[in-house]
């Protein structure tokens, strides 16, 4: 039997030409750095791919991350392509940091009409037996409390017609990660998103969720180290996804192309949840 053909377009590789889809937009990306996992040639992560893509498409971007060097490295990549970006260092589990982060983004960008929340951890032992109360609280502080604090601070300052995108995971839609705190916190993001969409609707502020599946990113590879069989999960489209594919789905939801979409979840998973 011949080997199955796998289609990987230029968009999936971050090699497609820019089309000006976010021209003039001002976007804060929370979690726009990238974790160093000790590999020489790690694939690009969701946060860095989004940051680069949005700048290529004409947006001015504020890159927030708790790791100052990671945020600065993303800004450097954008500036090499003549894009507009600056870095903000913040720990979004701390409310004072969140308020400062949003204020710095508004001041640096001149206004704010796009917000992406790309922060999350998967921690603790497997199954309920391996889940401690302390680790449960830590995961929820990072994965959902930080999102609440950020949208609480940002919503009053977002321009009319803005878009908010939460980066979640298909773990919030279907079981399988074996990490109860992770699954539960990711499911909670959908509920928070629906509230933000409801509260923001009077000013035409939209909120949606992008839920990546098995992605070949730095975080994805780190997860596969802990659970090696993750990498061999059969995906209907025949491969793992890329950070660029998360970025393009998010780009659509930030752009005016999705002006009548709010309170929804888009799975970027090669068919895992649907098929």
Per-residue pLDDT of the chain (275 residues; tens, 9 = 90+): 345 778 899 999 999 999 999 999 999 999 999 988 788 788 999 999 999 999 999 999 999 999 999 999 999 999 999 999 999 999 999 999 999 999 999 999 999 999 999 999 987 778 999 999 999 999 999 999 999 999 999 999 999 999 999 999 999 999 888 999 999 999 999 999 999 999 999 999 999 999 999 999 877 777 767 677 777 789 999 999 999 999 999 999 999 999 999 999 999 999 999 99
How does pLDDT run across 185-208, given as a tens digit for each residue? Answer: 999 999 999 999 999 999 999 999
Q: Give domain 21-268's CATH superfamily.
A: NAD(P)-binding Rossmann-like Domain (3.40.50.720)
pLDDT at 226: 66
- For 100, other C-beta atoms within 10 Å of its C-beta total 15
The token duo for 226 is 């802990």
CA gap 260, 200 in Å, rounded: 13
For the chain, give every domain's residue range: 21-268
CA gap 108, 104 in Å, rounded: 6
Specify whether the CB–CB gap between 98 and 149 falls below 8 A: yes
- For 204, other C-beta atoms within 10 Å of its C-beta total 13
Catalytic residue among 86, 182, 244, 248: 182
Residue among 44, 234, 238, 66 nearest 146 (CA) = 66
pLDDT at 151: 98
pLDDT at 217: 87
Residue 215, φ and ψ in degrees, nearest 5: -115, 140
How does pLDDT run across 94-115, given as a tens digit for each residue? Answer: 999 999 999 999 999 999 999 9
- Buried residues in 175-192 as b, exposed as e (16+ CB within 10 A): eebbbbbbbbbbbbbbeb
- For 171, other C-beta atoms within 10 Å of its C-beta total 22
Start-to-end CA distance of the chain, whole Å, equals: 23
- Buried residues in 228-256 as b, exposed as e (16+ CB within 10 A): eebeeeeeeeeebbbbbbbbbbbbbbbbe
The pTM score is 0.95
Q: Is 185 helix (H, G, I), strand (E, B) or coil?
A: helix
CA gap 251, 72 in Å, rounded: 22
pLDDT at 232: 77
Catalytic-residue membership of 248: no
pLDDT at 1: 34
**Paired strand residues for 90:** none
- For 79, other C-beta atoms within 10 Å of its C-beta total 13
pLDDT at 2: 44
CA gap 219, 161 in Å, rounded: 32
């Amino acid at each position: 039997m011949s080997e199955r053909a796998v289609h990987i377009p230029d968009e999936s590789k971050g090699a497609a030409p820019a089309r000006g889809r976010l021209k003039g937009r001002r976007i804060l990306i929370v979690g726009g750095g990238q974790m160093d996992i000790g590999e020489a040639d790690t694939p690009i992560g969701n946060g860095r791919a989004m940051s680069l893509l949005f700048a290529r498409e004409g947006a001015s971007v504020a890159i927030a991350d708790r790791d100052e060097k990671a945020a600065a490295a993303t800004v450097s990549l954008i500036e090499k392509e003549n894009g507009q970006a600056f870095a903000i260092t913040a720990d979004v589990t701390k409310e004072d940091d969140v308020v400062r982060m949003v204020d710095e983004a508004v001041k640096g960008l001149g206004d704010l009409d796009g917000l992406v929340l790309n922060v999350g951890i998967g921690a603790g032992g497997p199954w309920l037996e391996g889940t401690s109360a302390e680790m449960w609280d830590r995961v929820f502080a990072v994965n959902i409390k930080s999102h609440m604090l950020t949208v609480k601070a940002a919503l009053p300052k977002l321009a009319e017609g803005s878009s908010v995108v939460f980066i979640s995971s298909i773990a919030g839609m279907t079981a399988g990660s074996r990490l109860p705190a992770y699954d539960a916190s990711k499911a909670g993001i959908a509920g928070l998103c629906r509230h933000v969409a409801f509260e923001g609707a009077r000013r035409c502020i939209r909120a949606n969720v992008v839920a990546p599946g098995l992605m070949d990113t730095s975080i994805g590879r780190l997860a596969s180290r802990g659970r090696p069989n993750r990498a061999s999960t059969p995906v209907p489209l025949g491969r793992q996804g890329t950070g660029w594919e998360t970025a393009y789905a998010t780009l659509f939801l930030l752009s005016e192309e999705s002006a009548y979409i709010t309170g929804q979840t888009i799975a970027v998973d090669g068919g895992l949840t649907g098929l």
